[in-house]
């Protein structure tokens, strides 16, 4: 299921919303397949008798247990989200009770990824995010296309930095302008910031109203 939109901040947008890589299912799925194969082999290869009956019961019990394991892993997979937004990085998991990690983009210092040769073939890997928060480093496993995610995090951090610089420039221009400033010139500067994406439509309109009201 996708990350709930009701948990986003005002004007916050989602750039990426991932569940873990399908390799997350490897162990329970392989165990379930092995149990089924073992049960079929016992059923059709061994001769009838007590040994066959007891072995078949054991194989059926193994199928049941591994099926439960696989289903629990699916519930964990579908309720785990790795999300990159315009404001933060979010890791959220939990079927009933929820646990999560949030890293504001302005606190992200570095993003690294690691892949074994086998993981490169699968398109999976680990992501290590270094931040200025209390935890310092956070490792996220079974991330799909970790190099692409790394690039996206850097792009979002840069966009967030440009956005904050644009707001600071607009606020500084409005605060430091003399009483007889040229309103048309200041509006032109604001429009330039808006067209370059440094200001949202709402922020542009708010700064415009401040200038017109001065």
pLDDT tens-digit series, residues 87-142:
999 999 988 888 888 999 989 999 999 999 999 999 999 999 998 766 678 899 99
CA dist 13 and 62 (Å) reads 45
Reading the block at residue 201, the tokens are: 């439509």
Count of CA atoms in the C-beta half-sphere (13 A) of 123:
7
Q: Check if the beta carbon of residue 127 is closer than 8 Å to that of residue 142.
A: no
Residue numbers of the domain that contains 197: 157-213
Question: Do residues 16 and 104 share a domain?
Answer: yes
Let me know whether 11 and 89 are in one domain.
yes
Q: How far is the C-alpha of 81 from the C-alpha of 99, rounded, in Å?
A: 11
- Please state the pTM of the whole predicted model: 0.69
Same domain as 167, residue 94: no
- Cα torsion 64, 66, 68, 73 to 10°: value is -170
How does pLDDT run across 155-165, given as a tens digit for each residue?
A: 999 988 887 77
- Which single residue is written with the structure tokens 């310092």? 136
Tens-digit pLDDT profile for residues 31-48: 999 999 999 999 888 888
How many structural domains compose the chain? 3
In this structure, the answer to whether residues 136 and 120 fall within a common structural domain is yes
Of the candidates 126, 112, 102, 136, the residue with the CA atom closest to the CA atom of residue 12: 102
């Amino acid at each position: 299921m996708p990350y709930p939109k009701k948990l986003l901040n005002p004007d916050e947008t989602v750039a990426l919303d991932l569940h873990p890589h399908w390799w997350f299912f490897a162990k329970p799925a392989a165990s379930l397949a092995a149990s089924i194969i073992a049960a079929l082999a016992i059923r059709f290869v061994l001769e009838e008798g007590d040994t066959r009956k007891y072995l078949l019961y054991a194989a059926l019990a193994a199928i049941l247990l591994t099926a439960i394991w696989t289903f629990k892993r699916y519930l964990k997979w579908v309720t785990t989200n790795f999300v990159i937004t315009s404001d933060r990085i979010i890791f959220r998991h939990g079927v009933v009770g929820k646990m999560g990690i949030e890293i504001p983009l302005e606190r992200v210092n570095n993003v690294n990824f690691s892949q074994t040769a086998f993981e490169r073939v699968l398109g999976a890997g680990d992501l290590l995010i270094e931040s200025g928060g209390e935890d310092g480093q956070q490792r996220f496993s079974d991330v799909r296309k970790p190099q692409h995610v790394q690039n996206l995090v850097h792009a979002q951090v840069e966009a967030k930095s440009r956005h904050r610089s644009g707001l600071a420039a607009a606020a500084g221009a409005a605060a430091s302008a003399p009483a007889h400033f040229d309103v048309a010139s200041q509006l032109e500067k604001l429009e330039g910031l808006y067209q370059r994406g440094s200001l949202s439509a709402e922020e542009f309109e708010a700064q415009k109203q401040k200038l017109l009201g001065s």
